[in-house]
Structure formats: structure tokens, C-alpha cells
């Protein structure tokens, strides 16, 4: 039973650079290094409350609120996550550029969030998988998270 219908636009997302946004690599035995994020991607995630949310067995009490949104970026190749090796890691930052609401008040209601994501990958490519994790809570004790995978095209 899916109480949410989730869509991403565009799908796949695109990325471009240079970005004009920077991050710092802190080093214990050397000077810190400031680098520019190679890529920036902008996409929207829309969640719609489906008819399944009306099931009395769930115990869901409307409204349903989006209580947090986080992002994790992983490098990918051919749509497959390819974890970095050794001490290298993905660097990323994000902001929610806009949000239509954080409350789903009735069956069929929607919330759309637009994310700006900056990232730099060890493989130096732009293809990535961005996992957007949304946390939800109702007015009672119903809590859950939804992970939305967003593909960023090569």
C-alpha cells in the first residue's frame, strides 16, 4: 500500500558547471584546501497523498506534515552507484530553493519542493544518484520516511 505518489522532474535531472560554490577539505597535517563544486543540479520532487492514506487500519490522522528533507549524493556509472575507493568521498551541499507547502491536508493534496544540489565526485564525472529522504508525521503518532532516488544524467 502506497500512501504517497512521488514524482521527480526532470527525470533524469541534469547538471552543469562551473558552479561558483565552494567547499573546504580540512587536513590535519597540511593546509586546508578550498575547491569549487564541479556540478550543480536543480530538480523538483512532488508528493501526492493517495487514496490509500484513507485506510482506517493505518491510523493516519490528517494533516500529514513533511518534517525534514535531506540529500545524499553518490557517484554512479550507467545508473549504478559506484562507491569511491580509499579515502576519497563525495562532497555535496544542498538547499531547498522553494516549497509549495509542508502539509498534505487531504487525499489528493500535493507538496512540491525544488532542490539545488552542488556536488563534486571522486571520479570527476557528473552522473550521480541523489537520494532525497523526506520525513513525515501526522497529528497523532504516525511517523515514516520516504527515500526518493533522483538520477542525474551523465
Identify the burial level of 64 via C-beta atoms within 10 angstroms of its C-beta, where 0-12 means exposed, 13-18 middle and 19 or more buried.
buried
106 domain-assigned: yes
| Unique residue bearing C-alpha cell 562532497 | 91
Instruction: Report the CATH number that the domain containing residue 87 is assigned in CATH.
Output: 2.60.40
How far is 109 from 85, CA to CA, in rounded Å?
A: 43
Domain of 86 in residue numbering reads as: 4-18+38-152
67 domain-assigned: yes
For residue 140, what pLDDT is reported? 83
124 domain-assigned: yes
10 domain-assigned: yes
Q: What is the pLDDT of residues 20-66, one digit of tens each?
A: 999 999 888 889 999 999 999 999 999 999 999 888 888 888 999 99
23 domain-assigned: no
CA 7 vs. chain centroid, Å, equals: 12
The answer to whether residue 15 scores a pLDDT higher than 60 is: yes
Backbone angles phi, psi at 74, to 5 degrees: -130, 140
81 domain-assigned: yes
62 domain-assigned: yes
For residue 27, what pLDDT is reported? 86
How far is 106 from 48, CA to CA, in rounded Å?
A: 10
24 domain-assigned: no
DSSP 77-136: ETTEE----TT---EEEEEEEEES-SEE-STT-EEEEEEEEEEE-TT----EEEEEEEEE
Q: What is the pLDDT of residues 66-121, one digit of tens each?
A: 999 999 999 999 999 999 988 889 999 999 999 999 999 999 999 999 999 999 99
Q: What is the pLDDT of residues 93-102, one digit of tens each?
A: 999 999 999 9
Its pTM stands at 0.93
For residue 1, what pLDDT is reported? 57
Provide the domain count of the chain: 1
For residue 3, what pLDDT is reported? 94
DSSP 4-60: EEEEEESSSB-EES--S-EEEE--SSS--EEEE-SEEEEEEEEEEE-GGGG-TTT--
Amino acid at each position: 500500500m502506497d500512501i504517497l505518489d512521488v514524482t521527480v522532474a526532470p527525470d533524469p535531472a541534469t547538471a552543469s558547471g562551473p558552479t561558483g560554490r565552494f567547499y573546504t577539505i580540512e587536513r590535519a597535517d597540511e593546509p586546508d584546501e578550498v575547491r569549487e563544486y564541479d556540478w550543480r543540479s536543480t530538480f523538483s520532487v512532488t508528493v501526492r497523498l493517495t487514496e490509500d492514506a484513507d485506510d482506517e487500519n493505518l491510523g493516519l490522522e490528517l494533516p500529514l506534515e513533511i518534517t525534514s528533507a535531506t540529500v545524499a549524493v553518490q557517484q554512479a556509472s550507467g545508473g549504478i552507484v559506484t562507491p569511491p575507493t580509499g579515502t576519497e568521498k563525495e562532497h555535496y551541499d544542498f538547499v531547498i530553493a522553494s516549497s509549495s507547502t509542508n502539509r498534505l491536508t487531504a487525499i489528493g493534496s500535493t507538496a512540491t519542493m525544488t532542490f539545488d544540489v552542488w556536488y563534486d565526485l571522486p571520479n570527476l564525472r557528473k552522473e550521480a544518484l541523489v537520494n532525497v529522504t523526506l520525513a513525515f508525521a501526522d497529528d497523532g503518532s504516525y511517523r515514516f520516511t520516504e527515500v526518493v532516488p533522483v538520477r542525474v544524467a551523465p
